[in-house]
Chains A and B, each alone.
Chain A
Amino acid sequence: MMNKIERRLKREARTMLPDATLKERIRSECFGDRVFEEVAEPALVAETAGTTKTGRAPLSRNKRFAIVVALALIVCFVIGMSCYFALAKVPVAVSDTFVSININPSFGITADANDRVTSVTALNEDAAVVLYGMNLVGLSVSDAADRIVTESAELGYLDTTSTGSMSFLAVNENGKKETAVANKLNLSLTALMAKNNWQTTVNSENADYANNGGSSSSYRFKFDFGRNSLSVGYTLLTQRAGEKTGQSASYFSRFSAESMLKLISDYNEESMAKVESALEQSWQNNSQLQDSYDKLQQLREEHERFIADIEAVLEILDDSDGYLTEEERQKVRDLLSHPNLNLDGALDKLLEMIFSFAEDIEDAYDNIADLLEDILDKIEDSIYALGSDLKEEIDNWKKDFLEDVFDD
């Protein structure tokens, strides 16, 4: 019957609602006669057509010559401008940014044009231990850097006294983008130090280089006529790679930032693979850690399932027209029968109210919403507590691993 009422309202509305001319009137009032401007006056169209077809006089030889010269000049101008723009200093497209963080351990973060992390590389064995079990892909560069620095501090790598220091370098072909990332990172890492009351000095190599009078170099492109230049980040990397290998800095101008940094950091793929394999082995042998991890995963899944159930029931109630099918009723029943709700005797009465769309259902809905929120809070608290415990256990395991492996 409700559908019948809705259909009747819709049918009536169709006969009453204004037609498209009102919309066009408003458009015309607000934005001018845009919709009509392409329609030319028929008489004018005919007149113009007649002129072009029949009114053209034959061109004289001089006129033809003048036109040819003019065309030739235009062609020369276009070619000249094309060459100029091809070789001149044109804005470099924003590409991936590479950020190296050096605490010793050393890390390399690659981020896309939106500053979202796409990969993180451990540049030495210590970094591999720090990064083990961390999933930083998809985070912002600042968040990822914060987590890396925090984890390094917790494992004792970061000297948090006033004598301690760490540095980072942002590298992007686009100098403006590079500076923006470096500034943002500098702010977020400085804030992280302040928040944790750490005295460590944060050095932005980009800012240091610029402050010390350094400027970008100009040997990235073979035929750049001295106009296109390297960003500060690339300049620093090519210089360091040159110093490390004895090659000229320009030799590295076509190298990727990551490959130069690996070269500078003495990155050894074989020894990195060994450490990662040892970490994996040690993790596999630690059943207590694995149990805790599985428990946390289960709790997370339960949380997600519960949220999905709530959304499904909300959807059902939202779309219902005062009537629910047996299947929909069962979904509502299942959600409200959740053991954490403890509705017991009140459950049947509540379900009856919902299924009959009782007049005083509003209060009941509010109470259910409160109860569901309480349950979600409880699950989230459990996840947080379990996650914190697990984090502590993993940090202790990593410390033990470092002692066992590196002391050997």
Chain B
Amino acid sequence: MTKESLEQAVTRLKSGDKGAFDYIYDSTYKVVFFVVHSVVRQRETAEDVVQDVYITAFRNMDKFDGGNTLAWLTTIAKRLALNAYKRNKREKPTDFQTDGEKYGSTELPSAESMGLIAEAEKILSSEDFEIVVMCAIAGYRRREVAKLMDMPVSTVTHRYTTALKKLKRIVDGVDDE
């Protein structure tokens, strides 16, 4: 699951090989989903946005210059997720404090009730959260993440372990209570 092979798959898709779609989707959807989810904070909305992300990406494939595919998808994902978040807020004005579960919330409950991923979304910077998703959930190797995010492996390792330590402190805190 490397940047190079993703780019090769994009090239194949551009040249009409629809079989490359599976590879691109399977390699990226976990990261794209959680990037979107970290903004909209609601599973159903996140799924709809993920669908829009891939449709937008594949329909504009010709405009893609063949650079970092995952970065391109996450950029589209962030933009569409933010639009969806704003739209939800505008269309369905609600009290997030009381109806947060339904529409997404800025004030999240504890790790115990909302889960560790929600805590990670809340306490980590978006870059650190992406690193955690790529390493721990999507199964990318740290060297691959370093390539994808254009940063040294040591930086990725440091930020990843620091992020996990932060999450560990939350888990320990919940366990202690």
Task: Please list the residues of chain A having a beta carbon within 8 angstroms of any beta carbon in chain B.
Answer: 1-2, 4-6, 8-10, 12-13, 16-18, 22-23, 25-27, 29-31, 34, 314, 317-322, 357, 359, 361-362, 365-366, 369
**Are the CB atoms of B164 and A2 closer together than 8 Å?**
yes
Known: A13-B34, A23-B25. A30 touches B58 (CB 8 A): yes
**Are the CB atoms of A9 and B21 closer together than 8 Å?**
no
Query: Chain A interface: which of B63-71, B89-97, B99-107, B152-160?
Result: B152-160
A321–B155 alpha-carbon span in the complex (Å): 14
Question: Is B109 an interface residue, CB under 8 A from the partner?
Answer: no
Write out the residue numbers on chain A whose beta carbons fall within 8 Å of the beta carbon of B51: 22, 25-26, 29
Question: Is B123 an interface residue, CB under 8 A from the partner?
Answer: no
Which chain B residue shows the least CB distance to A368?
A: B154
Write out the residue numbers on chain A whose beta carbons fall within 8 Å of the beta carbon of B29: 17-18, 22-23
A317–B58 alpha-carbon span in the complex (Å): 37
**Are the CB atoms of A22 and B164 closer together than 8 Å?**
no
**Are the CB atoms of A5 and B58 closer together than 8 Å?**
no
A291–B54 alpha-carbon span in the complex (Å): 62
**Are the CB atoms of B50 and A18 closer together than 8 Å?**
yes
Known: A26-B51, A318-B157. A365 touches B152 (CB 8 A): yes
Q: A26-B55, A362-B154 are in contact. List 7 more A-B contacts (CB 8 A).
A: A16-B33, A22-B47, A23-B29, A30-B21, A30-B54, A30-B55, A318-B143
Say how far A56's CB is from chain B's closest CB, in angstroms. Answer: 38
Say how far B99's CB is from chain A's closest CB, in angstroms. Answer: 20
Question: Is B5 an interface residue, CB under 8 A from the partner?
Answer: no
Write out the residue numbers on chain B whose beta carbons fall within 8 Å of the beta carbon of A34: 18
- Using an 8 Å CB-CB cutoff, how does the interface string of B136-177 with A read, 1 for contact, 0 for none? 110001110000000011110110011011011001000000
Task: Please list the residues of chain B having a beta carbon within 8 angstroms of any beta carbon in chain A.
Answer: 18, 21-22, 25, 29-30, 33-34, 37, 43, 46-47, 50-51, 54-55, 58-59, 115-117, 120, 132, 136-137, 141-143, 152-155, 157-158, 161-162, 164-165, 167-168, 171
Say how far A357's CB is from chain B's closest CB, in angstroms. Answer: 5
Write out the residue numbers on chain B whose beta carbons fall within 8 Å of the beta carbon of A369: 152, 154
Say how far B8's CB is from chain A's closest CB, in angstroms. Answer: 18
**Residue in A2, A5, A314, A362 whose beta carbon sits within 8 Å of that of B155 in the complex:** A362
7 contacts between A and B (CB under 8 A): A5-B171, A8-B116, A10-B137, A22-B50, A25-B51, A26-B54, A30-B58
**Residue in B21, B37, B132, B154 whose beta carbon sits within 8 Å of that of A16 in the complex:** B37
Which chain B residue shows the least CB distance to A9?
A: B136
A90–B29 alpha-carbon span in the complex (Å): 47
**Are the CB atoms of A31 and B116 closer together than 8 Å?**
no
Write out the residue numbers on chain B whose beta carbons fall within 8 Å of the beta carbon of A5: 116, 136, 164, 167-168, 171
Say how far B177's CB is from chain A's closest CB, in angstroms. Answer: 17
Say how far A70's CB is from chain B's closest CB, in angstroms. Answer: 36
Which chain A residue shows the least CB distance to B144?
A: A318
**Are the CB atoms of B47 and A361 closer together than 8 Å?**
no
Interface of B, helix, strand, loop or mixed by DSSP:
helix
**Are the CB atoms of B54 and A16 closer together than 8 Å?**
no
Write out the residue numbers on chain A whose beta carbons fall within 8 Å of the beta carbon of B158: 357, 361-362, 365
Write out the residue numbers on chain A whose beta carbons fall within 8 Å of the beta carbon of B50: 18, 22
Write out the residue numbers on chain B whose beta carbons fall within 8 Å of the beta carbon of A29: 51, 55
Which chain A residue shows the least CB distance to B166?
A: A5
The list of the 9 closest CB pairs from A to B, nearest first, reads: A365-B154, A13-B137, A30-B58, A26-B54, A6-B136, A9-B136, A318-B142, A18-B47, A322-B161
A9–B54 alpha-carbon span in the complex (Å): 24
Write out the residue numbers on chain B whose beta carbons fall within 8 Å of the beta carbon of A4: 171
Write out the residue numbers on chain B whose beta carbons fall within 8 Å of the beta carbon of A25: 51
Say how far B61's CB is from chain A's closest CB, in angstroms. Answer: 9
A54–B47 alpha-carbon span in the complex (Å): 50
Which chain A residue shows the least CB distance to B34?
A: A13
**Residue in A30, A317, A322 whose beta carbon sits within 8 Å of that of B59 in the complex:** A30
Write out the residue numbers on chain B whose beta carbons fall within 8 Å of the beta carbon of A22: 29, 47, 50-51
Say how far A249's CB is from chain B's closest CB, in angstroms. Answer: 44
Known: A23-B25, A317-B154. A8 touches B34 (CB 8 A): no
**Are the CB atoms of A2 and B161 closer together than 8 Å?**
yes
Write out the residue numbers on chain B whose beta carbons fall within 8 Å of the beta carbon of A361: 154, 158
Which chain A residue shows the least CB distance to B141?
A: A318
Write out the residue numbers on chain A whose beta carbons fall within 8 Å of the beta carbon of B25: 23, 26
Write out the residue numbers on chain B whose beta carbons fall within 8 Å of the beta carbon of A30: 21, 54-55, 58-59
A150–B167 alpha-carbon span in the complex (Å): 63
Write out the residue numbers on chain A whose beta carbons fall within 8 Å of the beta carbon of B54: 26, 30
A34–B115 alpha-carbon span in the complex (Å): 38
**Are the CB atoms of B34 and A27 closer together than 8 Å?**
no
**Are the CB atoms of B21 and A27 closer together than 8 Å?**
yes
Say how far A8's CB is from chain B's closest CB, in angstroms. Answer: 5
Known: A2-B161, A22-B50, A314-B153. A16 touches B18 (CB 8 A): no
A12–B136 alpha-carbon span in the complex (Å): 11
Which chain A residue shows the least CB distance to B155?
A: A362
Say how far A177's CB is from chain B's closest CB, in angstroms. Answer: 23
Write out the residue numbers on chain A whose beta carbons fall within 8 Å of the beta carbon of B59: 30
